[in-house]
Structure 1
Amino acid sequence: MTVAVIGAGVAGAAAARTLRRNGVEPLVFEASDSVGGRTRTVAGDECDIDSGAIFLMGSYDATFRFLRESGHDTELRRWEARAAVMDEDGKTYPVRFDRPWTFLRLPHLRWRDRLRLARTIGALSVRSGPAPFDTDGLATADDGRTLAEWARATVGDRAYEYVVRPLMGPLTGADPEKISAAFTIALMSQVHRTRLSVPRGGLGRIASWLLDGIDVRVSTPVRSLEHRSSGVRVGTADESFDVDGVVVATDVRQARALLDGVVDDDVCAALDAVAPIPAYHVLLGYDTDPWPAVGHDLVVQAGPGRHHNYGVLLNSRRAPYAVPRGGQTVSVYFDRDQAPESDEEQVVARARGAVDRAFGVATPDFHRVFGMDVALIAPTPWHYESMRRARDAMPDTIRLAGDYLSHSGIEAALDSGERAARDVLASSVSPRSVIARDRPAGGRSAS
């Protein structure tokens, strides 16, 4: 039996590992020149850089199960996530992102605000609810309300502006006025599991560990899929392969392009409706640390009105590998509404302004800009039900994997990859050898 996996991010890597553990040697295709996708850790001249994801949460059950089974849990270091909330007047107040209850100390809250928050979190923590990254559970819990609507009605306007919004904005990278409340509700029910960890050497090691010993064809984008009664034909620029099954583990836009004309129109319509969030991660580097005595690593914005970024992060305590010796790096995260410029100099200038406001004025010695057309997704109300239907309507031999199926994050990607691989394995009844052709045949092009 042969199964192709398209994409070597965490979702594809988890699918490949699951296939191999069940006696199937996966055929993994990756369009870029390295594995990891949006979790990739990029080697730089001065330091290594986490291009996307920056931590693991304690509620990542499938991820930590893998890390324990593989023995890599010993290679994690805890990040205390000492943060500061910056209000609309530019004043900062210390909190801990790994201890969300510390937000209750903010002076902007009244006693009744704190009481409503405490009661809400207490009620959520004792009830049986969905796991934060479970598509089926989130679909059931989604009642059509946005995060802003639910939070304002449940904990009040002040708690929304000074706790929910600054806490969830950096975690979701999405506008709370647009996304479903279901994920936040599920996450708040596990507030006691907010310990944050970082792999020594970078978040990109998760995909690398999952793919240990597995051959990945990098720089090999898949151009076409053809669903046949006897299996699936996978086409690259130079060859085609007849396989028993396929796990499509790309981002949602690439998946939609590959599946055009291959699956039911309803599936394509559901993927079209997913709202990708294009974003920038700007890294500014300093050969000498300008802020050696600063007490916090992360600054997030709070209060009514526009928030100009999703967080300004000093990397030295979170990820020493991401900092030149004796120096410092700062990561600034924007979506394209917050930083609409297409010119890199303007984007860097915007990032420098955010750093100056958060930590103090300093001139960087180097910078790196990561622009992503699909950095995250915005799960609008009913998104989870739409993804559940799309996932279940796929042909038995072609399955979807990716964090967009539930909510952006390593856990969602890993869990979906494992499930997609199991579904393909369960559907296959006859083994097939790989047949290489001289050129691609059939199907629709993803280009």
Structure 2
Amino acid sequence: MAAEAQHIAVIGAGWAGCTAAVELTQAGHQVTLFEASRQLGGRARRVDINEIALDNGQHILLGAYSQTLQMMRKVGIDPASAMLRLPLQMCYPADSGGMTFTAPRLPAPLHLLFALWRARGLERQDKLALARFSSAARWMGWQLHDDCSVSTLLERFDQTDRLIRLMWRPLCIAALNTRPEHASAQVFLAVLRDSLGARRRASDMLLPRLDLSSLFPQRAAAFIEERGGNVESGCSIRQLRRNGEQWQLQGNDANLDFDAVVIATPPETAATLLDGSADASLLATLRSFEYEPITTCYLQYASDTRLPRPFFALLDDPENAGKNVGNTAAWGQFVFDRGQLDPTQAGLLAVVISASSAAIQAGHEELAKAVAAQLAATFKQPQLAAPSWTKVISEKRATFACTPGLVRPANDSGLDKLMLAGDYTASDYPATLESAVRSGKLAARELLAQLR
């Protein structure tokens, strides 16, 4: 027997909140989605700069993001047209001192073996170390008895300095937004398990052609409204409290009662909302997270500026930056040619700097100059040192610091008909779009079970 339709509030219209709202709406409930800002998407959203729709951070999705791709299809987004699908690759610009590693369209694990065999820029001992690590991780089932740092894990498996610098370090920083010496090896292995250790398409890299708000959140909002729900942007919820059998939301102008609630905000905001309702241990866990920023530097050049590939890895070596770009720190880790994703953005490059606390200390203007100098030196094109305009966007709390043994709360808050959703909830994944979507689906599923 179907459950009677309930009035459910979802607080926070990031990817987790939008997912939970869609799932609850599809189950036949009356959902109101609240978002404090005007733009949907949370920490993966569109921003408008110089009349151009950009993102607050350039993203790469993986073919392994099965739940994210499923949710896109559910709300009417075709991933095949919305994103550029590329084979797994770690390619540095020619003559930059990096490597070229590209997986062909072959069944797993042949695609990795062939990519390793023909990789350029790696010595024989590097390739043997990579093969040894991959084989051992598979034999271990991608599991550790005791978590440790990624650096410790790589040391245990005798990974070469060059392989760490060119592959493992940038992959760790990109996936976990935490530097290897502080990052959880178990979470890193989980990412490798679902990409390198799975079928070939799981390791594909997906580059959004649409801005991040259009890629899912806006279509999710339309899905909800078309089925009788409500989306309230620019509406901040300050506090929650029990009101008999219901939950009362204290908002901008009024107090509203709902049968059930999903809190899909950052953890510190969730703690504020639950102060006075949740037990002390949950509040302490929500307030215990440390955070890492992600910074994206956009640089506009002449419209005929085009990179040989849609994206490249860059040598991120601030300590030895003088060897790479004169006297300027080389901070960028990946550069994307936005014109190859959206023809209206021809000549626009996006440089991503994960775990960017040190990079942003000198200010946005100095960082943009450093990144432009890095591009000019790396690609050996002096004109790249002088873009027509730049814009640095730094999401200061982009992700939690994904450290070994980190305690993450369950979706079930322990309070009746109140769930938590977000990429920080209990999972073996780091803070990614996929973990946010998975959390939103799980929160909705557990709430539906309570409502039945």
In structure 2, the partner of 1:186 is 190
1:387 is aligned, of 385, 405, 408, to: 408
Moved more, 45-54 or 233-242: 45-54
In structure 2, the partner of 1:14 is 19
Amino acid aligned to 1:184: F
Change in 2 beyond 3 A, CA 1:293/1:128: closer
Amino acid aligned to 1:163: M
Q: CA offsets, 1:284-343, max 9 Å, x none?
A: 1123344x363562233267967853523132365225x534x33333325443324364
**Structure 1-normalised TM-score?**
0.82
In structure 2, the partner of 1:357 is 377
3-state SS, counterpart of residue 408 of structure 1: coil
- Cα deviation for residue 14 of structure 1 reads 0.2
| Residue 313 of structure 1 pairs with residue 327 of structure 2 | no
2:165 is aligned, of 161, 168, 172, to: 161
- Cα deviation for residue 224 of structure 1 reads 0.9
In structure 2, the partner of 1:276 is 291
Change in 2 beyond 3 A, CA 1:261/1:357: farther
**Structure 2-normalised TM-score?**
0.81
Amino acid aligned to 2:364: E
Change in 2 beyond 3 A, CA 1:164/1:269: same
Q: Is the 8 A contact 2:57 2:352 kept in 1?
A: no
Q: Is the 8 A contact 2:148 2:184 kept in 1?
A: yes
In structure 2, the partner of 1:438 is none
Amino acid aligned to 1:148: S
- Cα deviation for residue 155 of structure 1 reads 4.2
1:252 is aligned, of 267, 272, 284, to: 267
Q: Is the 8 A contact 1:170 1:310 kept in 2?
A: no
| Residue 297 of structure 1 pairs with residue 307 of structure 2 | no
1:239 is aligned, of 251, 254, 266, to: 254
1:396 is aligned, of 398, 409, 416, to: 416
Change in 2 beyond 3 A, CA 1:6/1:344: same
Alpha-carbon distance in 2 for matches of 1:162, 1:152: 15
2:301 is aligned, of 279, 286, 297, to: 286
In structure 1, the partner of 2:82 is 76
In structure 2, the partner of 1:138 is none
Moved more, 78-87 or 181-190: 78-87
Structure 2: gaps spanning 5 or more residues: 1-5, 105-110, 225-229, 322-329
In structure 2, the partner of 1:414 is 437
- Cα deviation for residue 410 of structure 1 reads 1.0
Amino acid aligned to 2:11: I
Q: Is the 8 A contact 1:146 1:381 kept in 2?
A: yes
Which structure exhibits the higher relative contact order, with contacts defined as CA atoms closer than 8 Å and separated by 6 or more residues?
Answer: 1
Alpha-carbon distance in 2 for matches of 1:166, 1:103: 17
2:220 is aligned, of 206, 210, 214, to: 210
Q: How does 1:14-93 map to 2 (within 5 A)?
A: 14-45=19-50, 47-73=52-78, 74-80=80-86, 83-85=90-92, 91-93=97-99
3-state SS, counterpart of residue 273 of structure 1: coil
Q: CA offsets, 1:46-77, max 9 Å, x none?
A: 53212225232111121122234445334333
Alpha-carbon distance in 1 for matches of 2:264, 2:112: 32
| Residue 118 of structure 1 pairs with residue 131 of structure 2 | yes
Root-mean-square deviation (Å): 3.1
3-state SS, counterpart of residue 39 of structure 1: coil
Alpha-carbon distance in 2 for matches of 1:286, 1:97: 31
Alpha-carbon distance in 1 for matches of 2:364, 2:317: 29
Structure 1: gaps spanning 5 or more residues: 131-140, 430-447
1:196 is aligned, of 190, 205, 209, to: 205
- Cα deviation for residue 401 of structure 1 reads 0.8
Amino acid aligned to 1:403: D
